Chains A and B, each alone.
Chain A
């Protein structure tokens, strides 16, 4: 099984430790992982701004880069969702269909493909789990609070394998953090207010760290906290699975 590791542009630039943790974790689990150096971005920022047609060359570049792999795995529910859902405007060639079908978020890959049932990791902290929206409602990584169904969460399922980890119960377990890509600047006032409200929920429940499957949400929440000098550390869940400590 040949895995192509997709590290979203902003993770590459600002959160290399998340890329490193993803790579190390997958290798530890015995996957043959390669990071194709020509990759850039999935094109979501353009498309969500209304320019999906302009993003077509970006999409084509992505498909070309990742078509040779059996799976395309990324530590991002949002970018994965974009490829799976919105690359539908490309001609449905074999390569395009393959890349769309086989693009998986880390949580999906670990649960659905690797059937992960144990992990060597120890994290004796109270975790506030932030369910990023595109992973939650786009990829259905967890049961959303709106829907009537049995409760599950793939991220929670893999984190539950970690020794001594604890979770806090939030008042609003899956409300949006307000990042939303260009929304964060288009609607700055609401975006920040949503972020502050999420942080307050985690803080009031005694979370020692906020964990999510998308660094974009965490970049936004961290940015607000650092400005207010009230830092709760943020981590991607793969960092915890890979043994990172606070």
Chain B
């Protein structure tokens, strides 16, 4: 069994927990529905957002240069990173130049993607994630399981246990208010001590050279306002043309992500504070390559709202860790094959192709169509088991020829009807592990038609 199916089966083995996980995320999906339905022009807004992103992606080079020019004029410093390694090195160089010993971080799936934390820690720099969910999984030494709610896989009892161990909260405490307060107090000291703050970027505006960060906890602002040195790391697809385009996305983002009309904080950073420094690191890490793939280009429209995860019936029942990548769920399953086709060849198949992801996506990425297209490439490149490939070759021959179709189905029907049950339900019959095979009627429709209704 390949990786995702096995991990999903392990997850589902605890059915009560699976139901809890599924329902927690379904509630978020329902909140999103309610908020989306409050905007009469929702579908036009999605279309507009999609077109803005398509336009931007087709002029990405010039918008990035415009952004850089304006950011430099504002007094920020701009760096370009080809890949994760270059990104990490750039951040390290900046931090070392300022003799930074303690860094507070917020809101950055990109730095997860680049594995920045372990890299900096090896260099003796303390890195503290300050989003509550991120901090929890950092303490647990686990990867995020969701891009917006990174600790959604953990129950409050487990967080209580963790905080008891790490933050000396009362044993057995599960009250979210109490636990959050403990985390606030713990983080406060880190904010005050930090020499630098690093954040992700939701939108980079070419026209102004500024970056916009959408958060709910205020931690990004606290970090950035307190520390003299601020660093913003962004994937190169985060740029949008004009300030006035921003409103289209902020209306869609929080509604899609968490079912809020807007995030509590929408912070716009334009220039360094007096006496401070502001750095922007623009990261490629495979994005240009994806831009070059016609069928998959528009996956770069993603604004990382996570709505496709919340709606995905597979994600909800297998958990984010079953995808083995920073960005899990449907969007992750179309991004990962471009990074390592062999390693992630199981992910485009971790879908029933129900299409809910594409309909919920605020920027109209045709996610399920791309899953289908990746499947074609994976099969062509030979990353599917030989047995499957052979079976499919045979099926193609049978199904394109009426005589062989008749002959093959006749045999199949005989086997299904007359084979003793123990032989029919061997371990190799995966369908039959938890399901009955359909009952075989004595006549097919074709037989019936021949006898009764053939008027030709």
Contacts and interface: CB of A to CB of B under 8 A. Distances in A.
A194 B352 contact: yes
B451 to A, nearest CB: 11
A19 B9 contact: no
Contacts of B413: 13
A224 B396 contact: no
A187 B376 contact: no
A176 B399 CA distance: 27
B15 to A, nearest CB: 8
Given A7-B445, A51-B379, A187-B4, A148 B36 contact: yes
B36 A190 contact: no
A146 B359 contact: yes
B456 interface: yes
A43 interface: yes
B453 A23 contact: yes
A12 B446 contact: yes
Interface residues of B, number: 79
Nearest to B361: A146
B340 interface: no
Interface string A117-154: 00000000000000001101110000011111100000
B43 interface: yes
A245 interface: no
A52 B40 CA distance: 39
A50 B434 contact: no
B359 A137 contact: yes
Contacts of A149: 43
Nearest to B446: A12
Contacts of A12: 409, 444-446
A227 B447 CA distance: 29
Given A172-B26, A179-B352, A190-B317, A223 B400 contact: no
B439 A137 contact: no
Contacts of A167: none
A164 B80 CA distance: 68
B360 interface: yes
A54 B392 contact: yes
A193 B352 contact: no
B441 interface: yes
Contacts of B412: 13
B20 interface: no
Interface stretch (A31-39, A91-99, A202-210, A235-243): A31-39
Interface string A47-91: 111111111011011000000000000000000000000100000
A133 B353 contact: yes
B352 A178 contact: yes
A14 B5 contact: no
A223 B453 contact: no
Contacts of B314: 187, 190, 194
Given A51-B379, A224-B434, A14 B396 contact: no
A134 B143 CA distance: 34
A160 interface: no
Contacts of B454: 35, 37
Is the contact region of chain A dominated by helix, strand, or loop, or is it mixed?
Answer: helix
Contacts of B5: 186-190
A137 B43 contact: no
Contact of A54 (B358, B396, B401): B396
B120 interface: no
Interface in B301-315: 311, 313-314
Nearest to A146: B359
Interface string B425-450: 00000110111111111011111111
A144 B444 CA distance: 34
B420 to A, nearest CB: 18
Nearest to A192: B434
A81 to B, nearest CB: 10
Max chain A C-beta neighbours (<10 A), residue from B33, B311, B453, B455: B453
A46 B377 CA distance: 13
Contacts of A53: 376, 380
B383 to A, nearest CB: 9
B448 A14 contact: no
Interface in A2-33: 7, 9-20, 23
A17 B445 CA distance: 7
Interface string A174-197: 011011110111111111111101
A16 B354 contact: no
Contacts of B456: 34
**Nearest 9 CB-CB pairs, A to B?**
A180-B352, A50-B379, A223-B435, A19-B445, A176-B354, A137-B355, A57-B400, A189-B9, A148-B42
28 contacts: A9-B405, A9-B409, A10-B438, A12-B409, A15-B441, A16-B445, A16-B448, A35-B446, A49-B388, A50-B375, A51-B389, A55-B396, A58-B396, A133-B354, A134-B355, A175-B313, A176-B354, A180-B353, A181-B352, A186-B5, A187-B8, A187-B350, A188-B431, A188-B434, A189-B12, A190-B314, A191-B352, A192-B433
Given A35-B454, A134-B353, 14 more contacts: A9-B405, A16-B443, A37-B446, A40-B401, A58-B400, A137-B359, A146-B359, A175-B313, A179-B352, A187-B5, A187-B350, A188-B431, A190-B318, A193-B12
